[in-house]
Amino acid sequence: MKTLSLIVPVFNEQEVLRTSYERMKATMESLDYGYEIIYVNDGSRDDTLVQLREIAAQDKKVRVRSFSRNFGHQLAVTAGMDIAKGDALIIIDADLQDPPEVIPELVKAWENGADIAYGKRAKREGETFMKKFTAACYYRLLSFMSAYPIPLDTGDFRLIDRKVADMFLQMREHNRFLRGMSAWMGFNAVPVEYVRHERFAGKTKYTLKKMLKLAFDGITGFSDKPLSISTALGTGICFIAGLGLIALIVCAIAAGVPSWLWAVDGIVMLQGITMLLMGIQGAYMNRMYDELKGRPLYIIGEEINID
Ligand code: UDP
Ligand code: MG
């Protein structure tokens, strides 16, 4: 029998954990698969770990990894992926914003051949206008910046096939943006629309600082555009200063030009050259960064008659 691994990162979720466990358990039982539920406790300071110990004592399908401190949601999910044994892995938030009842739909997409079935938020309930607005802007900025299409309005709620999970095991970069890595890998990715509910209880554990870091990791990990801003700007400025120089020469021949104008043009030109050189350095840094990330050079989706 094929098995599913449910991966649930938890950070200070004492208000939701029990209910969340019961609903997830009921969903997993309703499917015709073996399963495990992996909780990764991301350094909770409340009763979460105590509750997890109780749940795991009664339910042998529940496995728990507990961090020594808070490492952040993306690393918690990664730690779950690292020990998951399933033929497919499902990543889900503990707070029931991603309804466990959508899991059977993700599984169905997988049965129909999807390697990645990602939850796409058709609607977001109970989130502030500000959160929805900034999220909408960010996703669009990211997809403009990124060389690989990162689907709009998706989070980490998704099912991934074993072969995708194995690729995640090979990508050990530190500043992780899982949904970007997933998009970068390609494979047959299929959206499954769902309504994102309100948090069941408790408050968001994603502070503004954590959210900004994730947003920045998304851009720096999947786009080299920021590094080439300098090149573009420097080239533009040099061009304008060059035109200025021609204009100055013409004016000098015709009528004589005040000396400070030469100085201004010289400064602008130098500034442009500096930026251009910075951009060139950026290009080398970008290449070093690529090497440092140590991602696999390519990913094979399928092989036939290869031994
Ligand atoms: N989470 C985590 N570590 C953190 C922050 C969050 O493991 O540092 C977990 C959290 O317990 C939840 C999931 O990640 O299961 C999503 O967090 P949250 O619901 O607070 O984020 P939001 O939905 O508000 O973006
Ligand atoms: Mg949430």
Residue by residue, pLDDT tens for the chain (307 residues) are 999 999 999 999 999 999 999 999 999 999 999 999 999 999 999 999 999 999 999 999 999 999 999 999 999 999 999 999 999 999 999 999 999 999 999 999 999 999 999 999 988 888 888 888 998 899 899 989 988 888 988 999 999 999 999 999 999 999 999 999 999 999 999 999 999 999 999 999 999 999 999 999 999 999 989 988 999 999 999 999 999 999 899 988 888 888 888 889 999 999 999 999 999 999 899 889 989 999 888 877 777 878 7
Distance 207 CA to ligand 2 centre (A): 11
Q: Which residues contact 141 (CB under 8 A, 6 or more apart)?
A: 219
Distance 10 CA to ligand 1 centre (A): 7
> Could you identify the residue written with the tokens 């251009």?
276
3-state DSSP of the chain: CCEEEEEEEECCCCCCHHHHHHHHHHHHHHCCCEEEEEEEECCCCCCHHHHHHHHHHHCCCEEEEECCCCCCHHHHHHHHHHHCCCCEEEECCCCCCCCHHHHHHHHHHHHCCCCEEEEEEEEECCCCHHHHHHHHHHHHHHHHHCCCCCCCCEEEEEEEEHHHHHHHHHCCCCCCCHHHHHHHHCCCEEEEEEEECCCCCCCCCCCHHHHHHHHHHHHHHHCCHHHHHHHHHHHHHHHHHHHHHHHHHHHHHHHCCCHHHHHHHHHHHHHHHHHHHHHHHHHHHHHHHHHHHCCCCCCCCCCCCCC
The residue to mutate among 13, 20, 73, 77, having the most atoms of ligand 1 within 8 angstroms of its beta carbon, is 73
Distance 62 CA to ligand 1 centre (A): 19
The residue to mutate among 6, 10, 11, having the most atoms of ligand 1 within 8 angstroms of its beta carbon, is 11
Distance 303 CA to ligand 1 centre (A): 38
98 touches ligand 1 (CB under 6 Å) = no
The per-residue pLDDT for 14 is: 98
Neighbouring-strand partners of residue 264: none
Residues 241 and 268: beta-carbon distance below 8 Å: yes
The residue to mutate among 6, 46, 93, having the most atoms of ligand 1 within 8 angstroms of its beta carbon, is 93
pTM for the whole structure: 0.91
Residues 209 and 264: beta-carbon distance below 8 Å: no
Nearest CA to ligand 1 atom 23: 204
Dig out the tokens for 98 from the structure: 């991603």
Q: Which long-range contacts (CB under 8 A, 24 or more apart) does 239-247 make?
A: 239/272, 240/268, 240/272, 241/265, 241/268, 241/269, 241/272, 242/269, 244/268, 245/269
Residues 251 and 282: beta-carbon distance below 8 Å: no
Dig out the tokens for 181 from the structure: 């890595």
76 touches ligand 1 (CB under 6 Å) = yes
121 touches ligand 1 (CB under 6 Å) = no
Q: What are phi and psi of 84, to 5 degrees?
A: -65, 140
- Count of all residues that appear for the chain in the document: 307
Q: Would you say the C-alpha torsion 76, 81, 84, 89 has a positive or negative sign?
A: positive
CA 27 to chain centroid: 26
Class of residue 169 by CB neighbours under 10 A (exposed 0-12, middle 13-18, buried 19+) = exposed
Residues 115 and 301: beta-carbon distance below 8 Å: yes
The per-residue pLDDT for 177 is: 96
Distance 240 CA to ligand 1 centre (A): 49
